[in-house]
Structure 1
Amino acid sequence: MKEINKLALIGGSRALSGSIIWPFIGFALYEVYHFSLDFVSLFYIIQGVISVLAYIIGGYMTDFLGRVKSMVISSLSASISLLLAFLLNLPLATVFFILLQTFFNSIYNVSNTSMVGDLNKEFKGLVISFSRIRVGINAGWAVGPVIGGILFTISGFRELLLVSSIISLLPIPLLFSLPDFKGKIGISLNLSKEFILFLIPTFLTFMIMGQLGFSLLTYYNLIVGLSTFQVSLLFMVNGLLIVIFQEFIGRKLTIKMIILGMIIYAFSYLFVAFVTNFILAVIDIVFITLAEMIVSPLSQAIASSLSRDEVRGREIGIYGMVTALGRVLGSSYASFLMNYYLYSSPLILWFLISLLGFSSALLYYPLVKSDKNE
């Protein structure tokens, strides 16, 4: 089995584990554990800070210990964290161990992305490899939220933690069959100007990508009146579309299409304000997914192509830090806006969210207009 196919299979198992709980975390904190929306917003901010630390530490771990050892250690630790959250079953303890799981998952992501960069040296190969891995990941994502939605409805959020913990252990034996890579031992890290300029729109990109979770679930449940299970079906549609079409689309992508993807993202989230039923929500999730299939593999491929072999783990760690911070601050941003506009003016709410996509598209333009990879 080719290494990329192994990484896709491992990614699918991990995505199944993570997607069982991820879409429901913010909602569970609000509805199950009775934390306020302000606390949910604070939770995502803390999660962002933890992700920053994890990606920095993970970058050094990945270079110094090697990709495989870092992935094994982080996978085991993430599983144990969820198990402890299940066993203790206390609101603040649950918050703490979910945040700890975030820390270890972030370390894994650095190692995984770094290995793809090690295995591919050409930009087109990077795009196709990341597209294939996303097929595996979204096969898990297509099923996980449905399982999570059913368990959440029948048993509650606590049981999701146990199921997720067990499933996350399954791919660990396959990790040992992968080739290992290490980076150069050292502390200093000097990012290129091009890499830094790329990280600015990347942050905004992942703020809007982070809306596929807490903000959509909360809005569709409380305002549109969709059930938690119906929203989980939307996540399933997202995953299935990526499984079916991602690799085909990945083979057609050019670097400049990241701007098109961001424009589609912006209009799709603006349209959420006009969704009044499940059918319209399905139509909109199709366009959100199309944007994701364009933007995500291109973003990862650009980051890998800009990283250097000897410090790839650390540079991908910086990229991962920015993407994770963007995702969680995107959820925090939405939670903050919901305090003012959730009930009073949904159009303003989703317009302010869509501005993230339009702004990112504008900032990408000078970076890709004269790209050397095409």
Structure 2
Amino acid sequence: MFKGMNEVDKLALIGGFRAFGSSIIWPFMGFALYKVYGFSLTYVSLFYLIQAFVSVIASISGGIMTDYFGRKRMIIISIVMSSVALFIAYIINLPIPVACLILIQSYFSSIYNVSTTTIVGDMFKSSENLVKAFSRQRVGINAGWALGPLIGGYVFSTYGFRLLLLISSLLILISIPLIRLLPEFKGKSSVLDFSVSREFIIFLIPTFLTFVIIGQLGFGILTYYTSILDFTEFQVGILFAINGVMIVFLQDLMGRIINKRIKLISLGMVIYGLGYLGIALVTNFYLASVDIAVITLAEMIVTPLSQTLANSLASQKTRGKQIGLYSMVTGIGRIVGSSLISELMNYYLYTPLILWGVISSFGFISACLYYIFLRKLKSIL
């Protein structure tokens, strides 16, 4: 049934299945530790810091294993082990074990991200084809994200978080038969070869700031809206669904618009900054819906261009390790973002202009750094 599909559509479908299973639970993890398992905001912040450390280990080790064992093999291993961790968490259902098993699942999820980003870079060489491939892949991923949080929010509100652990552990296995149809690639360097260009290292600086702000689409938005504006988890799930639906229907079009226009990543970061600053002005669900649309517009510009830049700057022989480094920085950025907002909420939860002003500043600073970096980088523009 799937053998006649082209490789881009296979990647989109795999991303959709995987995202559907993951997005049922991921936006609610930090919130569940806070509300269901009784963690304080400080301990939730600590959890995200530990997760950042786990992400570092997973990204580096995942990059090495992706080069050594092959991209496809590591994708399958990471999915199976993620499923096992969530299933055990469902069975045990005690605060500390659940938190630890979520961290284990996070480890394998990071390896999955390294492997899938690397295999796209192997399959599509030019920056033009990479933008198209990553845009199409995001259509699939966000088709899953459009439905997952909506169902997750309903199940969480109605039946509780524990059932989400079981559902997620089963759903993320669906994509394995399709993954087996992908070609296999391996790195060509030794295990200890970590050669990285100066340009790649510089690129990682604004990348980190980018993913600090991207990381707010989860714990930060969920906790703020439920605490300050009394939105239900289901209503926030609808906001996440708006994000996913917009990307499903508009990402391909956006991919054609931004193709060969790498410098638009700076504009995307400005829009990100404005979108998160706008949260401070939201007073009802309708305004929240408009604001999430602005944030999604930024995401549709920034994410495929960031992935394209990472793969264009990486070499074939050590692509797995370099994308592992990129994944490490993006993962730490997301987690630092969640940890930062958790800590800021201890002091500024009821002062939204300060709270979201701090967060939005990461977008504006990142936009400036991308602009300076890309002015000096001519080879892939």
Q: TM-score range by the shorter chain?
A: over 0.9
Deviation by residue 1:6-56 (Cα, 9 ceiling, x = unmatched):
111111011001110111111111111110000000011111110110010
Task: Give the Å deviation of 1:372.
Answer: 2.8
Please give the alpha-carbon distance, in whole angstroms, between the structure 1 residues aligned to 2:40 and 2:198: 41
Matching residue of 2:197? 192
Q: 1:39 aligns with which of 43, 61, 64?
A: 43
Please give the alpha-carbon distance, in whole angstroms, between the structure 2 residues aligned to 1:248 and 1:372: 25
Please give the alpha-carbon distance, in whole angstroms, between the structure 1 residues aligned to 2:224 and 2:157: 18
The answer to whether the aligner puts 1:292 opposite 2:299 as a matched pair is yes
Task: Give the Å deviation of 1:185.
Answer: 4.0
User: Contact (CA 8 Å) 2:210, 2:333: kept in 1 or not?
Assistant: yes
The one-letter amino acid of 2:375's match is K
Deviation by residue 1:86-121 (Cα, 9 ceiling, x = unmatched):
001111111011110000011111111111000111
Q: 2:217 aligns with which of 187, 198, 212?
A: 212
**Within 5 A, what are the aligned runs for 1:344-355?**
345-355=351-361
Q: 1:342 aligns with which of 344, 349, 355?
A: 349
Find the residue that maps to 2:295 and give its secondary structure: helix
The one-letter amino acid of 2:188's match is K
Please give the alpha-carbon distance, in whole angstroms, between the structure 2 residues aligned to 1:100 and 1:367: 36
Matching residue of 2:93? 89
Matching residue of 1:322? 329
- TM-score computed with the length of structure 2 as normaliser: 0.97
Please give the alpha-carbon distance, in whole angstroms, between the structure 1 residues aligned to 2:290 and 2:172: 32
Deviation by residue 1:320-363 (Cα, 9 ceiling, x = unmatched):
000000001000010111010002x1110000000110110111
Deviation by residue 1:134-161 (Cα, 9 ceiling, x = unmatched):
0000000000001101100111000000
Matching residue of 1:262? 269
Please give the alpha-carbon distance, in whole angstroms, between the structure 2 residues aligned to 1:215 and 1:279: 19
Task: Give the Å deviation of 1:184.
Answer: 1.8
Matching residue of 1:252? 257
Please give the alpha-carbon distance, in whole angstroms, between the structure 2 residues aligned to 1:30 and 1:111: 31
Task: Give the Å deviation of 1:373.
Answer: 2.5
The answer to whether the aligner puts 1:236 opposite 2:241 as a matched pair is yes
Please give the alpha-carbon distance, in whole angstroms, between the structure 2 residues aligned to 1:342 and 1:156: 25
Find the residue that maps to 2:25 and give its secondary structure: helix
Please give the alpha-carbon distance, in whole angstroms, between the structure 2 residues aligned to 1:5 and 1:59: 24
Task: Give the Å deviation of 1:228.
Answer: 0.9
The one-letter amino acid of 2:366's match is S
The one-letter amino acid of 2:245's match is L
Q: Could you list the structure 1 runs, at least 4 aligned residues long, displaced by more than 4 angstroms after superposition.
A: none
User: Contact (CA 8 Å) 2:312, 2:380: kept in 1 or not?
Assistant: no
Please give the alpha-carbon distance, in whole angstroms, between the structure 2 residues aligned to 1:310 and 1:4: 22
The one-letter amino acid of 1:121's match is K
- Counting matched residue pairs gives 373
Find the residue that maps to 1:251 and give its secondary structure: helix
Please give the alpha-carbon distance, in whole angstroms, between the structure 2 residues aligned to 1:291 and 1:102: 25
Matching residue of 1:223? 228
Q: 1:360 aligns with which of 347, 366, 373?
A: 366
Structure 1 stretches of 5 or more lacking a match?
Answer: none
Please give the alpha-carbon distance, in whole angstroms, between the structure 2 residues aligned to 1:6 and 1:79: 21
Deviation by residue 1:296-323 (Cα, 9 ceiling, x = unmatched):
0000000000000000000000000000
| CA-atom RMSD in angstroms | 0.7
The one-letter amino acid of 1:209's match is I
Please give the alpha-carbon distance, in whole angstroms, between the structure 1 residues aligned to 2:113 and 2:8: 15
The answer to whether the aligner puts 1:7 opposite 2:11 as a matched pair is yes
The answer to whether the aligner puts 1:158 opposite 2:165 as a matched pair is no
**Within 5 A, what are the aligned runs for 1:45-60?**
45-60=49-64
Please give the alpha-carbon distance, in whole angstroms, between the structure 1 residues aligned to 2:296 and 2:103: 27
Q: 2:187 aligns with which of 170, 183, 187?
A: 183
Please give the alpha-carbon distance, in whole angstroms, between the structure 1 residues aligned to 2:11 and 2:54: 25
Deviation by residue 1:235-257 (Cα, 9 ceiling, x = unmatched):
00000000000011011111110
Matching residue of 1:203? 208
Please give the alpha-carbon distance, in whole angstroms, between the structure 2 residues aligned to 1:76 and 1:263: 38
User: Contact (CA 8 Å) 2:86, 2:165: kept in 1 or not?
Assistant: yes
Please give the alpha-carbon distance, in whole angstroms, between the structure 2 residues aligned to 1:11 and 1:59: 19
Task: Give the Å deviation of 1:369.
Answer: 2.0
